[in-house]
């Protein structure tokens, strides 16, 4: 199994992420047309609680596996690598089984008391098998990421997305005659099947990799002892695993609980503002099921950067290579900024046509326009958080997330309960949380390694965004094509072309950046004698 460079690994995950994001919009577009905004609300309503459970079960374990496997490989300690994997798998699977059983037993109480719409019961029950599947998948992904081989993760994500789309729409349609609550449950059943298919891909890769190592192994390798051996005892490995995973889990749990409380408090605040339960569920479904996915489209890149950054920074930190740490951070932050900027421009300028073309709901466009300027902070946040965790600062990430969550929840209660704000009060609170946490993460990285983004990069990207926006608006206003979606595609394409030319002219993107991209980069390599 070949080890990929930081950029190549990130680009492999980016390619898979972009495919997933694009394919993922098929159910995002089709599902509201099948089960309506209220059905989407029921489908989304159980997610926050499930994310809390997934966070408890997996949490920081995949990141810890990736970090410690990367370190063990750099030291040539195969026994330690194997012990980490087996211990993590046993811990995750055991936690998943316990919480699945407990959640199934408490499902009637959770769906009537904790969640705000009792119709979510069937969806909640259908999503419980995801816990065990995700627990096993996350450890396998962490293992491959630690070995800096992103291909299994990327392939499993694409397969999972394809099967999820097919079965989500199929079961939603088939279950619709029984009511929207059953249609939402059918959609969730499709998600479970998709996760199982993704796990199957990872398992096959792991078995093939294990067989390959068995064939290439020549005699007894030094340090290759069992889990119970002195070189890789379960106790020390478990302690080390928990030492990193517990703070990371705490940080993620704060975010997950914040998401759960956000859904509960938003619904209750909307009720306090005089909005009926059905309408509140529909508004929350529009926000979480339609607007947020559009905003998160570029996070395919930031996710890939964050995943690749952890083992890369862990290796650099283990060697004390501060220059490499700064280089990797600068690469990831610049890529996140440059890639996310045109999305922010398009979402702000064309919020209404985007919502009308994608969902047939133009009245939700103000939500997208309000979130668009803040989206850049979302794209920068993931690499910053990954850097804190890779540099053994998970406690800092946890504290930052906790502060942001507290501020967000207070603002939701204060604003969403007022009739003049309604759902937009919750949206404002979410925006404040995003900006605050990103700035706190940036300050944490600055304190840890003295890294900061170069101000001229922000100025250049900001100027390019303004010019791009003017070019896109000019093309859109000319309306040369008969249909709105054609004009939208033409305007965004023209604006993006202008933006990329400006990035090259301003030296934000150069030939060396393009050369690093797998496959495409070969076209831009110069001959050796040049």
Report DSSP letters for 430-496, one per residue: HHHHHHHHHHHHHHHHHHHH-----HHHHHHHHHHHHHHHHHHHHHHHH--SSSHHHHHHHHHHHHH
Is pLDDT above 60 for 7?
no
The model's confidence at residue 224, banded by pLDDT at 50, 70 and 90, is very low
Helix segments in 319-416, DSSP class H: 322-349, 351-359, 365-371, 375-390, 394-416
Select the highest-mean-pLDDT range: 149-158, 163-172, 295-304. Answer: 163-172
| pLDDT the model gives residue 33 | 79
List pLDDT tens digits, range 455-470.
788 889 999 999 999 9
| pLDDT the model gives residue 16 | 62
Q: How many CB atoms lie within 10 A of CB 78?
A: 19
* Cα 365 from Cα 156, distance rounded (Å): 33
pLDDT top residue among 5 and 406:
406
Is pLDDT above 70 for 436?
yes
Is pLDDT above 50 for 204?
yes
Read off the pTM: 0.67
| pLDDT the model gives residue 349 | 93
Is pLDDT above 70 for 392?
yes
Task: Give how far Cα 392 sits from Cα of 84, 176, 296, 320, 399, Å.
Answer: 18, 49, 27, 13, 14
| Average pLDDT, integer, range 466-494 | 86
**Radius of gyration (Cα) for the chain, nearest Å?**
23
pLDDT top residue among 477 and 349:
349
- The phi-psi region of residue 162 (left if phi > 0; otherwise alpha if psi is between -120 and 50; otherwise beta) is alpha
Helix (H/G/I), strand (E/B), else coil: 54 = helix
| Average pLDDT, integer, range 435-459 | 85
Question: Up-side HSE of residue 49: CA atoms within 13 Å toward CB?
Answer: 27
For residue 49, what are the contacts with CB-CB under 8 A and spacing of at least 6?
110, 114, 115, 124, 260
Are 438 and 404 in contact, with CB atoms under 8 Å apart?
A: no
The sign of the dihedral angle between the CA atoms of 96, 405, 269, 424 is negative
Helix (H/G/I), strand (E/B), else coil: 394 = helix
Mean pLDDT, the chain, whole residue set = 79
Token representation of residue 339: 């890639």
* Cα 75 from Cα 481, distance rounded (Å): 60
| pLDDT the model gives residue 8 | 58
Are 269 and 412 in contact, with CB atoms under 8 Å apart?
A: yes
Domain boundaries in the chain? 6-212+236-453
Select the highest-mean-pLDDT range: 10-19, 271-280, 349-358, 430-439. Answer: 430-439
Nearest to 66 by CA among 131, 13, 128: 13
- The DSSP line for 105-148 is HHHHHIIIIISS-GGGHHHHHHHTTHHHHHHHHHHHHHHHHHTT
Residue 452 has phi, psi (to 5 degrees) of -145, 150
Is pLDDT above 80 for 348?
yes
pLDDT-above-70 percentage for the chain: 81
Select the highest-mean-pLDDT range: 209-218, 275-284, 304-313, 328-337. Answer: 328-337
List pLDDT tens digits, range 270-322.
878 877 667 777 787 788 778 888 888 777 666 665 666 666 676 677 677 77
The model's confidence at residue 231, banded by pLDDT at 50, 70 and 90, is very low
Is pLDDT above 70 for 221?
no
* Cα 524 from Cα 127, distance rounded (Å): 47
* Cα 16 from Cα 172, distance rounded (Å): 26
CA triple 180-270-404, angle to 5 deg: 105
pLDDT top residue among 8 and 257:
257
The sign of the dihedral angle between the CA atoms of 479, 485, 486, 487 is positive
């Amino acid at each position: 199994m070949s080890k990929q460079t930081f950029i190549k690994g990130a680009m492999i995950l980016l390619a898979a992420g972009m495919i997933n994001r694009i394919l993922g919009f098929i159910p995002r577009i089709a599902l509201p047309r099948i089960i309506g905004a209220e059905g989407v609300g029921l489908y989304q309503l159980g997610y926050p609680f499930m994310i809390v459970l997934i966070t408890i079960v997996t949490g920081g374990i995949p990141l810890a596996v990736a970090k410690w496997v990367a370190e063990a490989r750099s030291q040539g300690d195969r026994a330690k690598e194997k012990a980490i994997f087996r211990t993590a798998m046993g811990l995750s699977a055991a936690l998943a089984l316990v919480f699945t059983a407990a959640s199934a037993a408490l499902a009637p109480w959770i769906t009537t008391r904790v969640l705000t719409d009792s119709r979510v019961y069937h969806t909640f029950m259908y999503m419980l098998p995801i816990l065990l599947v995700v627990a096993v998948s996350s450890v396998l992904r962490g293992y491959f990421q630690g070995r800096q081989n992103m291909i299994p993760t990327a392939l499993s994500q694409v397969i999972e997305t394809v099967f999820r789309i097919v079965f989500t729409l199929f079961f939603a349609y088939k279950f619709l005659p029984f009511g929207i609550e059953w249609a939402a449950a059918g959609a969730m059943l499709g998600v479970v099947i998709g996760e199982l298919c993704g796990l199957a891909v990872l398992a096959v890769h792991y078995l093939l990799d294990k067989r390959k190592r068995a064939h290439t192994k020549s005699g007894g390798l030094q340090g290759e002892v069992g889990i119970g051996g002195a070189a890789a005892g379960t106790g020390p490995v478990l302690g080390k695993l928990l030492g990193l995973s517990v703070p990371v889990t705490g940080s993620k749990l704060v975010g997950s609980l914040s998401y759960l409380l956000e859904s509960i408090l938003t619904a209750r605040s909307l009720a306090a503002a005089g909005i009926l339960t059905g309408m509140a569920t529909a508004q929350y479904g529009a926000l979480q099921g339609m607007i947020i996915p559009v905003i998160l489209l570029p996070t395919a890149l930031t996710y890939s950067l964050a995943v690749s950054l952890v083992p890369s920074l862990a290796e650099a930190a283990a060697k004390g290579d501060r220059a490499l740490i700064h280089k990797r951070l600068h690469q990831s932050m610049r890529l996140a900024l440059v890639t996310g900027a045109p999305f922010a421009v398009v979402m702000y300028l064309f919020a209404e046509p985007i919502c009308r073309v994608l969902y047939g709901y133009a009245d939700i466009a103000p939500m997208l326009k309000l979130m668009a300027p803040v989206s850049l902070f979302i794209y920068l946040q993931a690499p910053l958080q990954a850097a804190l965790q890779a540099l053994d600062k998970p406690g800092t990430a946890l504290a930052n997330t906790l502060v942001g969550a507290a501020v967000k929840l207070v603002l939701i209660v204060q604003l969403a309960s007022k009739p003049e704000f309604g759902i937009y009060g919750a949206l404002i609170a979410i925006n404040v949380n995003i900006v605050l946490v990103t700035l706190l993460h940036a300050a944490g990285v600055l304190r840890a390694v003295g890294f900061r983004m170069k101000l001229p990069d922000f100025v250049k990207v900001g100027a390019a965004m303004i010019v791009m926006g003017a070019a896109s608006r000019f093309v859109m206003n000319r309306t040369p094509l008969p249909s709105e979606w054609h004009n939208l595609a033409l305007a965004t394409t023209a604006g993006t072309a202008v933006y990329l030319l400006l990035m090259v002219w301003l030296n934000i993107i150069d030939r060396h950046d393009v050369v690093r991209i797998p496959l495409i980069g070969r076209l831009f390599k110069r001959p050796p004698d040049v």
